């Protein structure tokens, strides 16, 4: 990818047109199409319809998930250290495109029977392509805007595109069910087609129409700089802690929602409709969180998102079983702050890279966004490992009729564990030291010394 380490030229302001912004964020649509199936659809597809069994599929998905977590900061450092005359981000995205197209098709549309090693190898390859693409895109997004609120605009638009991808992936299986082809294999093939067709269209559009900031010579980035940042950067530590707490909370809620819908709410197999309402409301709420972050600060908006969730969670304790519309309204309202931390924390991390650039003379967005991706994924990975043993401890069982005590324990777990995590996230964000005024001062220093 080239041998000359570089960093970004901080003095040039770049105003992204609406067309360029649309081309850039369009990449999020197929990327989002990967995330939800890996958690919701692919494990039961391979365990049941492909006949690999629960134990084998569980181990394979756990191994590949931790592989994904491990390579994020490694690739971030690699991407920051090596650039080309075409830029530091675009070449990696171009490389990710064929890797993702091939591996997604092999995972989502396997031909005939498959083995454990087939799933393991193709999931690992898919995670490599996914990391190349997502970390490069996120680092690129931090470099597209230097203004405090402009970064919120970029990240908010990117999150909206992610939500479009998530909602589409939820709609595709519903369409197959309505047309009389409910087999999971057909649903997975449909999602695979959606991703494989959109990947080249959106990636090529971004590569062709979105500029990448010019670079100037700077010293190489090293792992000791990452360690130094973790030790010396209070904003970075607090943001990563908050991201871990919110990621854990989201993982707990996501891992329990099927049981809440089916058993606690007594709604049968209607969790898909509830999830769709959750994501749709989260998508439409993005402009509100952008507005609030501009009126106040990004971290203040995130604290209010935690407070909102804390106020709403106890309502689940008094939810009437068997009432679909009441459950739908509650889950929809619960989704209102869903997108807030996903784009506001990315915008805050972009501000933290300014602080790093002032201290080190380098723009290391790849490393920093690799760390941010890692903490969220760790939270999501730990969620199942925490909640499922707790479910067993309280006496809840799958596939049987649970008594009132077990159902009450399920709801308490759904309410109390996320509530504690929301409090910890809010405390980590309280009096966050890098706000609008501080970021403006950092940009002035960068532009003065460029």
- What six digits make up the tokens of 402? 């649970």
pLDDT beyond 90 at 128: yes
Q: Whole-angstrom Cα distance, residue 325 to residue 37?
A: 26
Query: Per-residue confidence at 7, pLDDT binned at 50, 70, 90?
Result: very low
More confident residue, 371 or 103: 103
Domain 18-211: which CATH class? mainly alpha
pLDDT beyond 50 at 369: yes
More confident residue, 229 or 110: 110
Burial class (CB in 10 A: 0-12, 13-18, 19+), 448: exposed
In the prediction, which pLDDT does 94 show? 94
Asked if the domains 18-211 and 227-450 are classified in one and the same CATH topology, the answer is yes
Query: Per-residue confidence at 436, pLDDT binned at 50, 70, 90?
Result: confident
pLDDT beyond 50 at 3: no
Average pLDDT estimate for 211-231 = 62
pLDDT beyond 70 at 63: yes
Average pLDDT estimate for 91-118 = 94
In the prediction, which pLDDT does 398 show? 66
pLDDT beyond 60 at 388: yes
In the prediction, which pLDDT does 191 show? 92
pLDDT beyond 60 at 384: yes
In the prediction, which pLDDT does 95 show? 94
pLDDT beyond 90 at 374: no
Outline where 179-270 has alpha helix (H): 184-209, 223-232, 234-259
In the prediction, which pLDDT does 338 show? 86
Query: Per-residue confidence at 93, pLDDT binned at 50, 70, 90?
Result: very high
Q: Whole-angstrom Cα distance, residue 173 to residue 192?
A: 12
Long-range pairs for 390-398: beta carbons < 8 A, 24 or more residues apart: 390/417, 391/256, 391/259, 396/259, 396/263, 398/259
In the prediction, which pLDDT does 14 show? 53
Query: Per-residue confidence at 108, pLDDT binned at 50, 70, 90?
Result: very high
More confident residue, 272 or 52: 52
pLDDT beyond 70 at 438: yes
CATH label, 227-450, candidates 1.25.40.10, 1.10.3720.10, 1.20.1250.20, 2.40.340.10: 1.20.1250.20
Of 41-55, 74-88, 335-349, where does mean pLDDT reach its minimum? 74-88
More confident residue, 121 or 56: 121
In the prediction, which pLDDT does 395 show? 84
More confident residue, 54 or 313: 313
Average pLDDT estimate for 117-127 = 95
Instruction: Give buried/exposed letters for 386-405 (b at 16+ CB in 10 A, else e).
Output: ebeebbeebebeeeeebeee
pLDDT beyond 80 at 196: yes
Vertex 164 angle, CA 161 and 170, to 5°: 150
Average pLDDT estimate for 149-171 = 84
pLDDT beyond 60 at 168: yes
Contacts of 45 (CB under 8 A, 6+ apart): 184, 185, 188
Of 102-106, 271-275, 410-414, 415-419, where does mean pLDDT reach its minimum? 271-275
pLDDT beyond 60 at 378: yes
State the pTM of this model.
0.73
Query: Per-residue confidence at 84, pLDDT binned at 50, 70, 90?
Result: low
Q: What is the mean pLDDT of the chain?
A: 82
In the prediction, which pLDDT does 324 show? 86
Q: Are 239 and 345 in contact (CB under 8 A)?
A: yes
pLDDT beyond 90 at 104: yes
Percentage above 90 pLDDT, the chain: 28
Percentage above 70 pLDDT, the chain: 87
Q: At 389, phi and psi to the nearest 5?
A: -60, -35
Closest C-alpha among 170, 427, 391, 374 to residue 276: 170
pLDDT beyond 50 at 302: yes
Q: At 54, phi and psi to the nearest 5?
A: -65, -45
More confident residue, 226 or 3: 226
**Spans of all domains in the chain:** 18-211, 227-450
């Amino acid at each position: 990818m080239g041998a000359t380490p570089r960093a970004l030229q901080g003095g040039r302001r770049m105003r992204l047109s609406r067309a360029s912004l649309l081309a850039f964020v369009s990449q999020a649509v197929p990327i989002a199409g990967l995330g939800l199936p890996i958690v919701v659809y692919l494990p039961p597809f391979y365990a049941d319809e492909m006949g690999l069994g629960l134990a084998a599929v569980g181990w394979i998905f756990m191994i590949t998930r931790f592989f994904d977590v491990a390579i994020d900061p490694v690739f971030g450092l690699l991407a920051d250290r090596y650039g080309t005359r075409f830029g530091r981000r675009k070449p990696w995205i171009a490389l990710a495109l064929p890797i993702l197209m091939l591996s997604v098709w092999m995972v989502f549309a396997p031909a005939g029977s498959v083995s454990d090693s087939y799933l393991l190898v193709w999931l690992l390859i898919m995670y490599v392509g996914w990391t190349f693409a997502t970390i490069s895109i996120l680092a690129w997004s931090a470099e597209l805007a230097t203004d405090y609120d402009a970064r919120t605009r970029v990240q908010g638009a990117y999150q909206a595109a992610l939500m479009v991808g998530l909602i589409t992936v939820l709609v595709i299986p519903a369409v197959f069910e309505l047309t009389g082809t409910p087999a999971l294999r057909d649903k997975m093939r449909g999602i695979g087609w959606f991703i494989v067709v959109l990947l080249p269209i959106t990636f090529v559009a971004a590569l062709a129409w979105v500029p990448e900031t010019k670079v100037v010579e700077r010293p190489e980035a090293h792992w000791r700089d990452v360690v130094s940042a973790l030790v010396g950067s209070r904003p970075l530590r607090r943001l990563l802690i908050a991201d871990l707490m919110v990621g854990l909370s989201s993982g707990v809620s996501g891992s329990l929602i099927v049981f809440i819908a089916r058993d606690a709410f007594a709604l049968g197999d209607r969790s898909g409709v509830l999830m769709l309402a959750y994501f749709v409301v989260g998508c439409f709420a993005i402009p509100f969180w952008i507005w609030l972050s501009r009126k106040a600060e990004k971290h203040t908006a995130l604290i209010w998102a935690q407070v909102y969730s804390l106020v709403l969670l106890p309502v689940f304790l008094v939810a009437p079983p068997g009432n679909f519309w009441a459950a739908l309204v509650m889950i929809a309202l619960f989704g209102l702050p869903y997108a807030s931390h996903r784009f506001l924390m990315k915008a805050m991390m972009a501000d933290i890279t300014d602080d790093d650039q002032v201290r080190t003379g380098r723009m290391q967005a790849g490393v920093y966004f690799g760390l941010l991706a890692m903490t969220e994924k760790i939270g999501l990975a730990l969620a199942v490992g925490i909640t499922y043993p707790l479910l067993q401890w309280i006496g809840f069982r799958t596939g049987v009729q649970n008594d009132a005590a077990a159902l009450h324990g399920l709801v308490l777990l759904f309410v109390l564990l996320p509530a504690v995590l929301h409090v910890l996230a809010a405390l980590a964000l309280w009096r966050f030291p890098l706000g609008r005024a501080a970021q403006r001062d950092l940009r002035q220093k960068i532009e003065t010394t460029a």
